[in-house]
Amino acid sequence: MQIKPILSALRRHKAGTFLIAMQIALTLAIVCNALFIIEQRLAHLSEPSGVDEANIFVVQNEWVGSSTAEQADAKIREDLRVLRELPGVQDATPSNSYPLRGGGWDDAVKLKPDQLQDSSGATIYFADDHFLDTLGLKLAAGRNFRAEEITPMNVRDRLGPPVVMVTKALADKLFPGEDAVGRTLYLIGGPSTIVGVVDLLQAQSVDRWASAFAYRSVIVPKRLAISLGAFYIVRARPGQLQAAMRAAPTALFQHNPRRIINEDDGVLSFAEVRARAYERDRGMAILMGVICVVLLAITAAGIVGLTSFWVGQRRRQIGVRRALGATRQDILQYFLTENLLISCGGALVGTVLAVAINLWLVTRFEMHRLSLMYVLGGVVILLLLGQGAVLAPAMRASRVPPVEATRSV
Amino acid sequence: MFSYYLDLALRSLGRNKMLTALMVLAIALGIGASMTTLTVLHVLSGDPLPGTSGTLFYPQLEPRDMDGFEPGMEPPRQITWIDGMNLLKAKRGDRQALMTGGAVPVQPAQSGMDPFYSDARYTSSDFFSMFQVPFLYGRGWSAADDDNKARVVVISRTLNDKLFGGKDSTGQTLRLKEGAFRVIGVLDTWRPNPHFYDVNMGNYSNAEDIFVPLTTSRDMRFDHNGSTDCWGTGGGDDDHAETQPCVWLQFWVQLDSAAKVAAYKEYLEHYSQEQKALGRFERPVNVRLPGLMEWLDINKVVPGDVKLQTWLALGFLVVCLVNTVGLMLAKFLRRTGELGVRRALGASKREVFTQLLIESGVIGLAGGVGGLLLAFLGLWLVRLQPSSYASLAHLDLSMLVMTFLLAVGASLLAGLLPAWRACQVAPALQLKSQ
């Protein structure tokens, strides 16, 4: 295939050539960045929580009327007994929060009491000795809390339990390459000895501001004995989640009606918790996907439209070429090559544009740098799209009979 | 002449339906996507109190100790009880209010209605007049009520409908936690967007249902919600939050003139100096006095994702326009023969140009209608989303007008180059080739 005649023909259609190339460049730039955002969001929402998601649900219990810390603690223990006695329930634990909740108590962890800079941020999970079993967590090292270590915590108390468990991510951050069990860390209220290391447990917030300490948690042997109430995390027996979710609030109300369990979101299965935590990311990924598809469709339609016009305009020239011995294959090749040249030009500009847009997004929207794979992928997609779009008009061109050369318009 | 050109345009558009449909569709999609995201952005970055927002300011003081101090740090975004009360009592602004958020258990008098928690705002008397809160019945409380820790409550219209069937409930008693409160006012529907006075409680959440004096809420030991930041030995103890080194309150001040703003800033500096001399403040004096809209900016109230989507949609519109320019170019150049005849028969370049621009305007108008329908569809989809701002996404009149201006303007812009190119044909050459 000779490129020179194609180039000289394009020189006579500067405006049209430029517009197609521009359109391809812009589409490439937007599609690359959109694909990159989709990939980031999908990666984010498929991070593991570490808990037995299929069987867990959460009850948000609020008390009516004020009570002393002792009364509140007694009521929580009663509730747990009620929950654990339900036939469909395997285990239950009280806590101040749960993974993917969206926010809650995060605090600083230090290794020395007089340290100015924090060693790490961490999610604080309140737990009793049923916490590991209820959430389905695995111990990487050390031991679980003992029943006698669990104490109630009031609003006035400052958090500094004698023993804590930490997640492996936090242990690796605080004591890289060493055994964390038996070591000491400092929370706001004083020193605590690490007795256990939990393998994997996601933080309560998956937002970007919390990504600095994702998976780093301190599990404290405390029951939140405040008059406001707390969360009950419940693990149903396999296959009995729905039944247990219906039975739990009924049983709780039967036992003590002076409570509030919100009808809309008072009882949430973990699947709902997950959907809520990531709804923004999923929405964004879907939107980006739709935009990409529509954008590619429009660009393809534009190429079809403009090439059709060029084919119509050049019917006579095509006829002449056919009369002079060019095969149908030659004509087809001509238009395909022409489109490839324009697309390559567009892709070149588009690559620069894609990187520029990404750099601008990085400064404004806490994005990561675009990996070159996405640009390459985008270029391939657009080149294929261009070739596909031009195929129909080019086929039509190749069917122009040689006799066209003898006809006047 | 215009109607003749319009007729020509419609005929020409009808001749090649596929191409016309493609152009209209491209513009409609671009406009639809842009208008959907622009509307969401417009709603989210709106002024919560049009007309008054310019006179409202949010003083920031620096009460923290030297732990972790770095020069140029922003002061905390809330205020301590002591400073809040001092600024409130000083009454240096035209109006001022100290506040924080919380939740209180409501125990309805009606049997058969379960107790429930309601979002509450604990504030001081100027709140209602300063933020121009509309009242359906009754009124807010007085400064004397603040001082006396009066058991009075102002409730929202929603709560009044729920508890009292929408009747004038002023004078009635409402049980909150363990106390009996007298209802002294019922608000009319009020939902400032964003929820500017306390951005910790959800940027686009509803206004609270219950308003009680801040002093009363402390007296009753009502639970406090929202952000609490402590330093030094502070933290955890909600019962003694008044004396803790913690910021957990919001303070707003109304200043009606630029001179008063300058004077107030001076007063804040003076106050900080005084507190430093007393030994309460340790860091160098650092005060700020952002206005309401500036405060929303500082807090990045508009979600980043929404901005990102807007930019994406505008990029999408540009691609659609480039696409339309290309197609129009093809269409107009194909008709050079016809245009040549018109030129030879005496039409000036200018007239031919106008004729072609009208044709692109018609495409733009059709695209605008299509775009509007798509924008309605898009906003309906946005409203299905569970985010807190979803229910706000409605097209208002200004955005409606903007849709059409954008559509027609964009398509005229897209028609400029093709029309100009098509006018450049030499009539003689075109006639010759016929």
Q: Distance of alpha carbon A350 from its chain centroid, rounded?
A: 27
Contacts of A155 in chain B (CB under 8 A): 236-239
| H or E segment and range at residue A62 | strand A56-63
Rounded mean pLDDT of A304-316? Answer: 84
**Contact (CB, 8 A) for A10 and A338:** yes
Percent of chain B residues topping a pLDDT of 90: 23
**Residue, of B297 and A115, whose pLDDT is higher:** B297
pLDDT at residue number A345 = 92
Sorted by where each begins, the domain ranges of chain B are 2-45+302-433, 55-298
- Taking the whole predicted model, whether its pTM rises above 0.95 is answered as no
Contact: A302, B326; criterion CB under 8 Å = yes
pLDDT of residue A71: 84
Which residues in chain B touch residue A294, judged by CB atoms under 8 angstroms apart? 29, 33, 316
Residues B314-337, mean pLDDT to the nearest whole number: 85
Per-residue pLDDT, averaged over A68-92, amounts to: 89
Contact B417 A27 (CB under 8 A): no
- Res A234: pLDDT: 94
Token couple for B67: 């732990």
Neighboring chain B residues of A301 at a CB cutoff of 8 Å:
22, 26, 323
CB A217 within 8 A of CB A200: no
> Which residue carries 């080149």 as its tokens?
A383
Chosen from A153, A278, A291 to mutate, greatest number of chain B CBs within 10 A: A291
pLDDT of residue B288: 92
Task: Give the total residue count for chain B.
Answer: 434
Q: Which residues of A touch B381 (CB under 8 A)?
A: none
What is d(CA A23, CA B323) in angstroms, rounded to the nearest whole number? 7
Please count the helices (runs of H) and the strands (runs of E) in chain B.
14, 12
Give residue-wise pLDDT tens across range A216-256: 999 999 888 877 778 999 999 998 999 999 999 999 999 98
CA distance A125 to chain B (A): 16
Own/partner long-range contacts of B290-297 (Cβ < 8 Å, ≥24 apart): B290/B57, B290/B58, B290/B60, B291/B53, B291/B54, B291/B56, B291/B57, B291/B58, B292/B48, B292/B49, B292/B53, B292/B54, B292/B56, B292/B57, B292/B58, B292/B196, B293/B47, B293/B53, B295/B58, B295/B196, B296/B45, B296/B194, B296/B196, B296/B199
Task: Answer for the pair B334, B421: CB distance below 8 angstroms, yes or no.
Answer: no
**What is the C-alpha to C-alpha distance for residues B423 and B420, in angstroms, rounded to an integer?**
5
Measured distance CA(A119)–CA(A175) in Å, rounded: 10
Locate the DSSP E strands across A199-248: 217-220, 222-224, 229-236
Reported as a single tens digit per residue, the pLDDT across B360-409 is 888 888 888 898 899 889 888 888 776 667 777 777 788 888 887 888 88
**DSSP letters of B226-272?**
S--EE-TT--S-GGGTTTSSEE-BEEEEE--SHHHHHHHHHHHHHHH
Q: Which of A304, A193, A252, A199 is nearest to A57 (CA)?
A: A252
Rounded to a whole number, what is the distance in Å from the CA of A2 to chain B's nearest CA?
26
Shortest distance, CA B16 to any CA of chain A (angstroms): 11
A vs B, Cβ pairs < 8 A, gives 128
A393 neighbourhood in chain B, CB within 8 Å:
none
Domain boundaries, chain A: 4-45+280-403, 65-257
Are B322 and A23 a contacting pair at CB < 8 A?
Answer: yes
Residue A187 β-bridge partners: A190
pLDDT in the model for residue A156: 65
What pLDDT shows up at residue A5?
Answer: 79
Chain centre to alpha carbon of residue A136: 23
> Distance between CA B371 and CA B36 in Å, rounded?
9
Complex-level ipTM: 0.77
Least CB-CB distance to A305: which of B19, B303, B313?
B19
Torsion angle, alpha carbons of B55, B56, B59, B60, to 10: -120
Q: Which of A24, A115, A258, A295 best probes binding to B when mutated, by most B CB atoms within 10 angstroms?
A: A295
CA distance B260 to chain A (A): 35
**So what's the pLDDT on residue A403?**
83
| E runs forming strands in B13-107 | 56-57, 95-107
Q: Which amino acid is at B14?
A: G
Among A143-152, A338-347, B198-207, B370-379, the minimum mean pLDDT is found in B198-207
Residue B330: what residue type? A
8 A C-beta contact, residue A124 and residue A176 = no
Express each pLDDT in A19-43 by its tens digit.
Answer: 889 999 999 999 998 888 888 888 8
- Cβ of B308 and A294 within 8 Å? no
| pLDDT tier at A353, thresholds 50, 70, 90 | very high
Q: Do A26 and B308 touch (CB under 8 A)?
A: no
Within 8 A of A205 by CB-CB distance, chain B residues are none
- The better pLDDT of the pair B111, B250 is held by B250
Residues of B in contact with A293 (CB under 8 A): none
Cα B313 from Cα B30, distance rounded (Å): 7
Which of A406, A226, A220 has its CA nearest to residue A320?
A406
The total of other beta-carbon atoms located within 10 Å of residue B186's CB is: 23
- As a whole number of angstroms, the distance between CA A304 and CA B259 comes to 65
* Range B16-39 average pLDDT: 85
> Which chain A positions have a beta carbon within 8 Å of B325's beta carbon?
19
Six token digits for residue B199: 């951005």
